[in-house]
Every structure is written in C-alpha cells, then in structure tokens.
Amino acid sequence: MYPPVQLDKQVPSNFGVWRVDASLVPVLPDPSVQARLDQIYNQVLARTYIDNRGRRVMLSIAYGADQGSDSTAVHRPEFCYAAQGFTVQARGEDQIRIEGSTLRVKRLVGTLAGRIEPITYWVTLNDRATLPGLDRKLQQIALGLRGQIPDGLLLRVSTLGLPTTEAFTLQDEFVLALRQSMPAALRPRYFGRVNI
C-alpha cells in the first residue's frame, strides 16, 4: 500500500548544495533513554549536512512500524532534549510552504551551556503529516477505525551558530531541498501528502 521505509537508502547523502558532513553528529539520547527508544523505533538516521556556504543542518529521522497507540508512538523532541539536560523553549507551530500547500511543523529552541539549537520537527502517520497532540491522536483513531495500524516517522532538523530566525529560514530551505531531491512516490511518507 505504501512504499516501505528504508532510511539509509531513501534519504540522500548529497542533494542540491548539501552534502553529509561527518564532523558534527546530531544530539542522540543517553544509553538509558536509547534503550527505551529502541523498543519503539525500527530505524533511526542521524546525519549532519553542510552547504556550499559552510552552513550546517542536523537531520534526525526515527521510524516506528507501529504508531497505533500512545505507548508505541514516536517521542517528542521536547522530551528527548530535556532528558539530555537541555532547557527547551517552545516557539509554537509554524508552516513550511510546499507546492501551494503547507507542512505544519513545531519549532523549539534547545539550550545547554553555550549551545543554542533551534529545532523544527513534524511527524508522519502513513502518508499524512501531523504534529503530536490532538491532531495525531485523531488520525490514530481514524486509521484504527478503518482497521489500520499506521507506521510513522519523526523528522527533526536543527542548526547551531545562527540567530534563531535565520536558523529557521535555513531549516525551511533544507527541508524543501531534501523533499525535492526524493522520488515523488516517497515524498508523502516523509513530508505528508500535498493537497493542491
């Protein structure tokens, strides 16, 4: 029904002005948190990309085959960052314009010592983009009533060393370039369906 998720193969290492930079690793959970996450996620991808101007974006994607209940649903970055000792400030919901439609995203800023990390994330259930909370719960219920156990992805991008507004603008550019680089059949799995 939906193309299977294969993060290592489907998410390109190089696209547009972006290429993988192995010198900077995105924030990963400590071992105790990781053990719990391993029970939820079937695949995880963490990469840092650098563009031709030296700007970096960290990408983290977690895939869970069973997103049908709260106990198996992807964990929100707010909690993962807080578990690492970050102070997390919510910046609310936002939208990224895609082909005349929008991708709803959540914005955060994580702070730890001198590290300030603006963060953008969203979740997909099957081929629908959503955000944690009521919207995701309603989609879980709707799919459950149809006898479907949805799978899903949590996609997170973040940056270091840029003012927050500039960081979010760069993240939007990165998300759009990443989406454009992927085959059309895979885009709904990672970014949700675009309704024009």
Mean pLDDT by 10 residues, the chain (196 residues): 86 96 69 56 88 95 67 66 88 91 94 94 86 63 58 90 96 97 93 72
**pLDDT at residue number 41:** 64
> What confidence score (pLDDT) does residue 71 get?
44
Give a yes or no: residue 30 inside a domain: yes
Phi and psi at residue 109, to the nearest 5°: -130, 120
For residue 129, the model assigns a pLDDT of 83
pLDDT at 49: 97
For residue 44, the enclosing domain spans 7-125+136-180
Q: Domain for residue 187, yes or no? A: no
Sequence-ordered list of residues with C-beta below 8 angstroms from that of 90, at least 6 positions apart, any chain:
78, 106, 107, 108
What is the per-residue pLDDT for 79? Answer: 81
pLDDT of residue 1: 67
In a domain, 55, yes or no: yes
CA dist 96 and 86 (Å) reads 26
Q: Do the strands 87-98 and 101-112 form a parallel or antiparallel pair, or are they unpaired?
A: antiparallel
Amino acid 82: pLDDT: 83
Instruction: Give how far Cα 188 sits from Cα of 2, 124, 193, Å.
Output: 9, 8, 5
| Single-letter amino acid, residue 8 | D
- Give a yes or no: residue 196 inside a domain: no
CATH of the domain at 59: 3.40.1000
pLDDT of res. 7: 94
Query: What pLDDT sits at residue 97?
Result: 93
Q: Which pTM value belongs to this model?
A: 0.84
- The verdict on residue 130 lying in a domain is no
* Distance separating alpha carbons of residues 119 and 92, to the nearest angstrom: 11
Which are the contacts of 69, defined by CB distance < 8 A and separation ≥ 6? 140
Does the residue 150 lie in any domain? Answer: yes
Does any domain span residue 131? no
Task: Report the domain count for the chain.
Answer: 1
Task: Give the pLDDT score at 40.
Answer: 61
